[in-house]
Amino acid sequence: MSSDRKIRVLVVDDSAVVRQVMSAVLSREPDMEVVIAQEPLIALRKMSGALPDVILLDLQMPRMDGLTFLRRIRPHGIPVVICSAFSGANTQAAVRALEYGAIDIVQKPELGLREFLDQSAATLVDMVRGAARARVVERGEEDKRPALGVATAKKAPAHRGRASSSHRIVAIGASAGGTAALHRVLGAMPLDCAGLAVVQHMPAGFTAAFAQRLDETCAIEVREAKDGDAVCTGLALIAPGNHHLSIVRRGDGFAVQVRTGPAVNRHRPSVDVLFRSVASVAGARATGALLTGMGDDGADGLLEMRRAGAATLAQDEASCVVYGMPKEAVRRGAVETVAPLGRIPQLILKATKARMNEENV
């Protein structure tokens, strides 16, 4: 998009209140113009005149639901941010929308304009600006194939509860576009992989459904983290929305802490909080990976991990939806290896194996 024209934002929502709030927030920005549509068929008519740069999309609407609309417009490659309330049906649909190509989720304003302006306006504006720079490409056959090393068999119930404490840890951070990237990375992890702790920027109420979806499609176990959970082999713990995730020592292994507290880099959970804790307690027994996302959350924490002896990786620009967080980490000297998304799982496994061999020498 040319830097000398405004970002054209299309808000598609059947709620007049939501349209009013979103329009009021975004129209205040000098680099944005807002178009509204109360349902997808009207949105399609408006798009025939001029395509938007970003779409804010509700999922539950009359005549055509948001998922159908998302599939219909996907060939245009327009970045889509889902605007959803966190109830059971909506959370599942929102997670499905991320699989269909949406790049992020914003919680639908449930309060009045003043409260939303106080609590969420800055996050929404940042998200729209980041989305306008996102690369949204229709996946080719190569992208649809599992990453190297992926275990395609479904896990058997007998695997549950057999995991042992992990003496090594993999910490992963992601934001916009990260849900698809995490499907790729975690889907390639074998049952004997080192324990994983993951921060994906996502509102409260959606992370449990996201973790459940990952658990259904990965060989390893994936679940939303609870305070005190042990870091175990073959287990990925996802930070709950609106809570920070950090790592503490427990005997010869590790456990997680789930806490509230102030946002860090405008995020809760924050990747920096996770990475800094891993640097402090795991040092060279850790591997850190920073995936696609806007902003700079995680860049300083990854640098601390590298200085503590951890292996550090970042997704390359060509495979990122938004090359923000990895770019900042590279710029600050935090990254040992930059690689396309398809190689990240292999590099994680190689790094953890190398550190295990060093410990046994």
Residues serving a catalytic function are 175, 201, 297
- Residue 134 contacts residue 176 (beta carbons within 8 Å): yes
Structure tokens at 299: 């860049």
Its sign, for the CA torsion 249, 250, 254, 256, is negative
The residues near 239 (Cβ < 8 Å, ≥ 6 apart) are: 197, 198, 199, 200, 207, 225, 245, 258, 269, 274
- How many angstroms separate the CA atoms of 347 and 110, rounded? 43
- Residue 123 contacts residue 83 (beta carbons within 8 Å): no
Listed residue (120, 181, 219, 79) closest to 198, CA to CA:
181
- How many angstroms separate the CA atoms of 75 and 57, rounded? 16
Phi and psi, residue 283, nearest 5°: 55, -125
Give the number of other Cβ atoms within 10 Å of residue 143's Cβ: 14
Listed residue (97, 93, 94) closest to 71, CA to CA:
97
Listed residue (77, 78, 58) closest to 68, CA to CA:
58
Q: CA gyration radius for the chain? A: 20
Per-position DSSP letters for 220-247, written without gaps between them: SEEEE--TT-B-BTTEEEEPPTTSEEEE
- How many angstroms separate the CA atoms of 19 and 170, rounded? 41
Tell me which H or E stretch contains 303: helix 299-307
